[in-house]
Structure 1
Amino acid sequence: MTYLMLFGGLLAMVLINVPIAVAIGVVALIGMVLAQGSDTLLNVPLTLFDGATSFPLLAIPLFVLAGELMNISSISRRLIDLVSAMIGFVRGGLAMVNIGVSMFFAEISGSAVADVAATGSVLMPAMKKKGYKPAFVAAVTSSSASLAIIIPPSISMILYGAIADTSIVKLFLAGVIPGVLGGGLLMALSYYFAVRYNLPREEAFSFKVLRQKLRDASWALMLPVIILGGIFGGVVTATEGAGLAVVAALFIGFVVYRELTLQHLYKCMVRASVQTAAVMLLVATSALLGLYLTEARLPQEMAQAIISVTDDQIAVLMLLNLLFFVLGMFLHGAAAIILVVPMVLPLVQQVGIDPIHFGIIVTLNLAIGQQTPPVASVLATACSIAKVDMWSTTRANLPFIGVLIALLLLVTYVPSVSLGLVNWVYGG
């Protein structure tokens, strides 16, 4: 009964817009005091500190800063020009360009919101000017930006890996095929709508233009090669790769493109600090909740309760997908990982689900959650830039959400889609 009251209180605070980190902290403190008395509060500062000082989590502020540096330079514009030269000649090409650029940018920033902010402000006005309906424009931009949570490097995967004590590099590798497959499916759906509604083509294909745009974007294309090549090649860890991304972005911005100034750098660092502070406060307070849940043995009890009903992997995965789908409507991605993963991990381990496989399932669920109101951070950002109503955008977005759900089901019940590359590289 106490558990239900605490989590009911947590949900109530979230629904009245209390910051999720504050809500989690309050619930954790109340639970600890009720369970063990006020003396347990002496451990709170240490728990908060330990929860936010894990080495893998250092990658988060570094990737956030790298994304900000890329946003403020011309990297996103050069990537847009290159992808447009490659596939813009296809009917409805701008929609495909939008998806293609999101896939490129996902390999650099690791953040779907950063993806929308960087590419949407350029592409969405251009698409509307060409006659694309505003709701469709926002839907394509929002759904394709969520590929950033699947394609490495992904901030959500870093959080999951730190909490589940799982290899972040293997998670990155497992996200490659689902991410590319998701981008291809979204492009196929966009082409269907382009033919159906006779959407315009862009300029005719030209090798000369393609060579020019490829030359202009060559340094921008080096970023994912440097970051992912270093991580997958075993040269650097994911955290060191994030530091490498910052150094590379600074070099390209200051030395190569010469469009980054000290004033720009200051603004980037301020914005990155604010975003990082919000995430790390959430991580720290979640450590308190994790301590309470561990001592109360709630995750183990929940696992036993579900296993008493069924221990079939297919049924358990279906229940977990439903749980994350519903929670994705009300919680931001980081909050869902931090709040729910520690609770369900004992169940996942007990029924023999691979933690890497489960990590990709979690991140795909969160990608869908970014598109489903009322709390849909990526969708809200896209609607804000496109200046269109969220609910009309949601209607236009339903087919794209359907594609993401189909991808989720494929990854869930065909583990080789995510684990095939991992097993090929590492054996297994």
Structure 2
Amino acid sequence: MLVAAIFAALMLMICINVPIAVALAMCGVIGLLVTEGADSLVTIALDMYDGSTKFSLIAIPMFVLAGAIMNAGGITDKLINFVSAIIGFIRGGLAMVNIGVSLFFAEISGSAVADVAAMGSILIPQMKKRGYSKEFSAAVTSSSASLAIIIPPSIPMILYAASANTSVEQLFVAGIVPGLLGAAGLMTVAYLFAKRYNFPTEDAFNMKRLRQTFVEALPAFTLPVIILGGIFGGYVTATEAAGLAVLASLVVSAWYKNLDFGHLRRAMLDGGIQTAVVMLLVAASVLMGGFLTRAQIPQQLAEGILSITTQQWAILLILNFFFLIVGFFLHSAAAIILVIPIVIPLITAAGIDPVHFGLVVTLNLAIGQQTPPVASVLITACSVARANIWEVSKVNIWFVGVLLAVLMLCTYVPAVPMFLVEYFYR
């Protein structure tokens, strides 16, 4: 009864726009106070501090900062020119460029909101100028930005690994193939839209231009090599790779001699605020997690679902549906921090690989970023495009369909995300 009342209070506070971190902390404190008395609150400040200072979490501000430097240093422009030279000649080529550059930017920032803010401010105005509708421009930018939490490095994957006590490096590897499949599917849908609505092509394919843009973008290509090569080669941890990403971004930006310090300052402030919000969520979740653990809610959930079915496919179907619903109402960081500690005992009892499940959770939350009412990434894209969110959603549903198809494939054909993990680590 107490647990139901605590969750009802949590949902009520969220609905009346109390910050989620504050709501989590208040409910956790109330739960501990009722069940264990005032003595249990003596160490809550230390518990919150310890919970938010895990080594793996340091990667979050570092990857956000690397993305900010990359965008402020003119690196993004070089990538756009190169990708445009490769695929710009295809019908709807600028939409393809949008997806392709998002795929690369995802390998630096790990944040879909950062991706859509950086790419959208450059590409959406260009797409509108060339005759693409603002609704299509916002939809393709929003959906492709969600590749940032599928392709490594991924901030939600870092949070999941910390919450589930699993390997963030293996999660990064598991995200490669699904991310590439998602990009291919999004490009296919964009091409079909371009054929139907006769969207323009860019300049004809020119080998000289391709060579020139490749040489210009070559320093930028060192960034994913350093980050992903270091992680997959076993030379650095994900957190150490994040620090290297910042250093490499500074070096490449200095090479281009195009660092906009005003832009960088604004991006760093925005990144600092975003990181502070995530860390406050992590700290607050420690209190709620302590209460739930003492009340044995995770164990009761596991026993309840396993009493209905022990089939892995059915459990995954139930959890997929659950996370899709959660994604409608919670940001990805809040959803992971609030829900993962509760469902991990069920995953363990059912014999589901936590790395595989982490990829499934990430895909669900990528879809949640595109579905109102929360839809943080979609709202950002609509703001940049100055388009109505419901009109954009009518177009975006086709791109969301691609993400759903990738989710189902990865859920029920585990070899798709896991064969690289098996090859490198097991």
Normalised-by-shorter TM-score class: over 0.9
Match of residue 326 from structure 1: 325
State how 1:173-192 maps to structure 2 within 5 Å: 173-192=173-192
1:300/1:346 contact within 8 Å kept: yes
Is 1:288 matched with 2:287?
yes
DSSP-derived class of the 2:270 partner: helix
State how 1:295-334 maps to structure 2 within 5 Å: 295-334=294-333
Match of residue 151 from structure 1: 151
Residue 356 of structure 2 aligns to which amino acid in structure 1?
A: H
Distance 1:84 1:302 in 2: 50
User: In the superposition, relative to structure 1, how do residues 265 and 125 fare at CA in structure 2: closer, same or farther (>3 Å)?
Assistant: closer
Match of residue 169 from structure 1: 169
Distance 1:144 1:268 in 2: 21
Is 1:424 matched with 2:419?
no
Q: For each residue in 1:327-371, what CA deviation from the matched residue of structure 2 results, as whole angstroms up to 9, or x when unmatched?
A: 000000000000000000000010100011000000000000000
Is 1:131 matched with 2:128?
no
User: In the superposition, relative to structure 1, how do residues 172 and 43 fare at CA in structure 2: closer, same or farther (>3 Å)?
Assistant: same
Match of residue 104 from structure 1: 104
Q: CA deviation at 1:220?
A: 1.3
Distance 1:357 1:274 in 2: 31
Match of residue 207 from structure 2: 207
Residue 26 of structure 2 aligns to which amino acid in structure 1?
A: V
Distance 1:47 1:282 in 2: 13
Distance 1:235 1:48 in 2: 31
Is 1:245 matched with 2:245?
yes
Distance 2:223 2:352 in 1: 34
Q: For each residue in 1:167-199, what CA deviation from the matched residue of structure 2 results, as whole angstroms up to 9, or x when unmatched?
A: 111110010000001100111111111112221
Structure 1 gap segments, 5+ residues each: none
Distance 2:19 2:212 in 1: 47
Q: For each residue in 1:366-405, what CA deviation from the matched residue of structure 2 results, as whole angstroms up to 9, or x when unmatched?
A: 0000000000110010000000011111111111111111
TM-score relative to the length of structure 2: 0.98
2:175/2:417 contact within 8 Å kept: yes
1:87/1:96 contact within 8 Å kept: yes
Q: CA deviation at 1:262?
A: 5.6
Distance 1:287 1:244 in 2: 29
1:77/1:119 contact within 8 Å kept: no
User: In the superposition, relative to structure 1, how do residues 262 and 385 fare at CA in structure 2: closer, same or farther (>3 Å)?
Assistant: closer
Q: CA deviation at 1:268?
A: 4.2
1:24/1:289 contact within 8 Å kept: yes
Q: CA deviation at 1:41?
A: 1.1
Q: CA deviation at 1:270?
A: 2.9
Distance 1:152 1:86 in 2: 23
Distance 1:269 1:139 in 2: 26
Residue 411 of structure 2 aligns to which amino acid in structure 1?
A: T
Distance 1:12 1:112 in 2: 28
Distance 1:319 1:422 in 2: 25
Distance 1:168 1:97 in 2: 29
State how 1:103-122 maps to structure 2 within 5 Å: 103-122=103-122
Q: For each residue in 1:38-62, what CA deviation from the matched residue of structure 2 results, as whole angstroms up to 9, or x when unmatched?
A: 2211121111011101100111111
Match of residue 11 from structure 1: 11
Residue 80 of structure 1 aligns to which amino acid in structure 2?
A: I
Is 1:354 matched with 2:353?
yes
Residue 251 of structure 2 aligns to which amino acid in structure 1?
A: F
Match of residue 61 from structure 1: 61
State how 1:203-282 maps to structure 2 within 5 Å: 203-253=203-253, 255-260=254-259, 266-282=265-281
Q: CA deviation at 1:267?
A: 4.0
Residue 424 of structure 1 aligns to which amino acid in structure 2?
A: Y
DSSP-derived class of the 1:98 partner: helix
Structure 1 vs Structure 2: percent identity of aligned residues? 58
Match of residue 90 from structure 1: 90
TM-score relative to the length of structure 1: 0.98
Instruction: Kindly report the root-mean-square deviation, in angstroms, between the aligned alpha carbons of the 2 structures.
Output: 1.1
Distance 1:3 1:402 in 2: 36
Distance 1:375 1:265 in 2: 28
DSSP-derived class of the 2:257 partner: coil
Q: CA deviation at 1:68?
A: 1.3
| Greater Cα shift, 48-57 or 267-276 | 267-276
Residue 239 of structure 1 aligns to which amino acid in structure 2?
A: T
Q: CA deviation at 1:260?
A: 2.2
1:368/1:405 contact within 8 Å kept: yes
| Greater Cα shift, 193-202 or 233-242 | 193-202
Distance 2:230 2:381 in 1: 32
Distance 2:298 2:206 in 1: 58
| Greater Cα shift, 315-324 or 75-84 | 75-84
Residue 240 of structure 2 aligns to which amino acid in structure 1?
A: E
Distance 2:260 2:202 in 1: 34
